[in-house]
Amino acid sequence: MSREWERYEQVAAELLNLIANELGVDRFEGKQTIPGASGTHWEIDAKGVTEDCERIVVVEVRNTKARQSQAKVGALAFTLLDTGSDGGIIVSPLPLQAGAKKVAAHAGVHHVQIDAGSTPRQFAMKFLNKLFMGITVSATARAEASCVVRRVCKQCGQRFEVAENENVCPACANT
């Protein structure tokens, strides 16, 4: 069983693929390591790419109970700088702190807010001024049918409900 943060990372990558075009990429790939100009390698939670790989967007996923600080967003900003990425996305369930918003705006980092309990089918995701939601609806249906067979009595011509295989109505059958 995966840990909660791993599940959140996987769900985030799947949900980001739903809005990839809104984020300026064609698709998102999962966790990987990418090289930096400093000579180090950076483990990233996901990466957005265009088909021609001309544009790369680094994704940092943080499922925490606290708002992301300017230091956390600053660390992502340096990762973007060192890797030569075209932009970044930080995913978290809560809004960014005020200082983090300023750093994000300056560094080209977008914030995508995804509810902590989200699944690929049931989710609430906010990006810029847009809200994306997935809702699962289940329904139960039940039907009953009954059949009434009526015939015309061969003796009197009246219609009657058939119980089995009668050819005459009950009144004529009793005479």
> Domain check: are 68 and 127 in the same one?
yes
Asked whether the predicted pLDDT for residue 169 surpasses 70, the reply is yes
Classify 35 as helix, strand or coil.
strand
Looking at residue 1, its pLDDT comes to 44
Give the bridge partners for 109, in sequence order. Answer: 88
CB atoms within 10 A of CB 115: 16
> Domain check: are 44 and 113 in the same one?
yes
> Domain check: are 48 and 96 in the same one?
yes
Mean pLDDT for the chain overall? 91
Looking at residue 2, its pLDDT comes to 56
Nearest C-alpha neighbor of 94 from the set 74, 75, 72, 120: 72
> Domain check: are 39 and 85 in the same one?
yes
Residue 112's domain spans which residues?
4-134
> Domain check: are 97 and 159 in the same one?
no
How many domains does the chain contain in total? 2
> Domain check: are 85 and 162 in the same one?
no
Q: Which CATH number fits the domain that encloses residue 120?
A: 3.40.1350.10
> Domain for residue 139, yes or no?
no
What would the two tokens of residue 138 be?
């289940």
> Domain check: are 158 and 106 in the same one?
no
CB atoms within 10 A of CB 5: 13
- Name the least confident of 9-13, 16-20, 51-55: 51-55
Q: What angle do CA 66, 13, 31 make, to 5 degrees?
A: 90
> Domain check: are 52 and 103 in the same one?
yes
pLDDT in tens, 21-56: 988 899 999 899 999 999 999 999 999 999 887 889
Asked whether the predicted pLDDT for residue 156 surpasses 70, the reply is yes
Looking at residue 111, its pLDDT comes to 96
Classify 41 as helix, strand or coil.
strand
Asked whether the predicted pLDDT for residue 70 surpasses 60, the reply is yes
> Domain check: are 74 and 126 in the same one?
yes
Nearest C-alpha neighbor of 113 from the set 98, 97, 100, 131: 131
The stretch 65-70 carries a mean pLDDT of: 94
- Give the percent of the chain with pLDDT over 70: 99
Looking at residue 67, its pLDDT comes to 95
